[in-house]
Amino acid sequence: MPDASLPDLDRKTAREKYGPWAVIAGASDGTGEAFARQLAGVGVNSLLVARRPDVLESLAADLRSQYGVETRILVQDLMEADAARNMLAASADLDVGVYVSNAGADGTGSHFFEQPVERWLRLATMNVMTVTEATHGFGARLLKRGRGGIVIMSSGAGLGGTPFLSMYSATKSFEMVLVEALWGELEKSEVEIVGVIAPAMDTPLVRRHVAGQGFKLGHFYAPDEVVREALASLGRRPLIMFPADRRPPPDEVLKDRYDQLLLSLEAGKSFFPKGQKVED
C-alpha cells in the first residue's frame, strides 16, 4: 500500500528542485515509462535512454503531446562500456535536476555456471559500472548546481543471494549499499538520493517472461505506484521497501539497515574526515 504520510511530488517542488530536465536510464516501458510520465505530469522535461528507438520515439511524442514538455531520446544499450559517458555527453547542454537509474533487469533467470561468463560481465557492466559512472557524473553536476535528486532502482533480490538470479541479486545489492553510503555523504547538501528495493511488478518485461505459463500477476505492484513512492521519498529516507505504508524505516529489515547506516556514518566522519589521506 502507498505511504499516506508522503505527499505526491508537486509541480512547484519538481520544477524548482528537480527540473527542468530529468535523465531516465531504461525509459522505454514499465517503470521507466512511469517515471517519464509522472515527471512530465509536473512539468519536467526528459532525456529518455533505452535500446529500442521505436519505443522511445513513441513515448517521447506522447509526452510532448499529452504534457507539453520537451523530450530527447538517446538510443543506448546500458550494458555497453560507454553508456554512462554517452548519457553525460547527450545531456551536457541541459540543466539536469534528476537522474533516474532504472535499467538492470535479468528477465531470464538461469544457472550461473551454465551461461557464458560474458553474460554476467555485461550485467555487471550495466548494474555496477554504468550505475557508478553515471551516478558520479550526474551527482557531481547536481552538487555544482546546488540541488537535485538521484533515484536508483534496486530490487528485493538484492537483500540476499537469489539462486538462478545470482549476478542480478549481487549487483542489486551493490546498488543498495552504494545508495546508503551516498545518502550519508550527501546529508548536508541539497542533493537527495533514494534507492528503491523494488517489489515484483506488473511490467511488460515480466509479462513477456511469464507468457503462456498461466502465471497470475494480481499480487504484483503497478509501476505507477512504485514510482510515485520513489519520487515522494526523495530527501526523506535512503531506501524504501514495499509495502511502504508506514513511516521510515517501514519494517524491521530497513530499521536494522538504517540503524547500521547511522553508525557507519558517524564512524566515517571520525575515521575519514574530508581531505584526510589514508596511508597503506
Q: pLDDT per residue over 170-193, tens digit each?
A: 999 999 999 999 999 998 999 999
Residue bearing cell 512530465: 40
Please give the pLDDT value at position 1.
Answer: 46
Contact 146, 190 (CB under 8 A): yes
pLDDT of residue 271: 54
Average the pLDDT over 138-146 and give the result. 98
Residue 156 DSSP class:
G
CB 155 within 8 A of CB 169: yes
Residue 280 lies in a domain: no
Q: Which domain holds residue 236?
A: 11-271
Residue 36 belongs to some domain of the structure: yes
89 part of a folded domain: yes
Amino acid 215 reads F
- Which contiguous run of DSSP H or E holds residue 65? helix 53-67
Catalytic residues: 168
Phi and psi at residue 94, to the nearest 5°: -105, 150
Classified as helix, coil or strand, 239 is strand
Q: What pLDDT score does 246 carry? A: 45
For residue 196, the surrounding DSSP H or E stretch is strand 191-197
Report if residue 262 sits inside a domain: yes
Residue whose grid cell is 536508483 = 152
Does residue 86 fall inside a structural domain? yes
- Our count of domains for the chain comes to 1
Task: Give pLDDT, residue 70.
Answer: 98
Residue with the three cell numbers 530527447 = 72
CATH number at residue 62: 3.40.50.720
Q: Is residue 88 in some structural domain? A: yes
